[in-house]
């Protein structure tokens, strides 16, 4: 049995619990990497790319822990 989470499947589930809802304006935009970042409680950053946002994605993930935030773009 694998312990690796398939995030695409996980995010399609109805029981998702977001750590926080954050307006995109609160994120820092890294122009070089084309990524929006927001500080995570674990010390790393929630990240979502400009490309993901343009494709309609609205969930920023932290690469160091299991927390996710809902990105509010309006």
- pLDDT tens digits for range 10-59: 555 556 789 999 999 999 999 999 999 999 999 999 999 999 999 999 99
Choose the weakest-confidence range: 5-9, 13-17, 50-54, 63-67.
5-9
Cα separation, 32 vs 45, in Å, equals: 16
Six-digit token pair at 1? 């049995």
Rounded-to-integer distance, Cα 26 and Cα 40, Å: 12
| C-alpha closest to that of 35 among 25, 48, 22 | 48
CATH topology of domain 7-72: Microbial ribonuclease fold (3.10.660)
């Amino acid at each position: 049995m694998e312990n690796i989470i398939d995030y695409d499947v996980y995010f399609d589930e109805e029981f998702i619990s977001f750590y926080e809802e954050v307006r995109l304006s609160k994120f820092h935009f890294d122009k070089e990497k084309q990524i929006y970042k927001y500080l995570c409680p674990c010390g790393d950053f929630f990240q979502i790319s400009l490309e993901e946002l343009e494709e309609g994605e609205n969930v920023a993930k932290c690469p160091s822990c299991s927390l996710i935030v809902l990105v509010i773009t309006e």
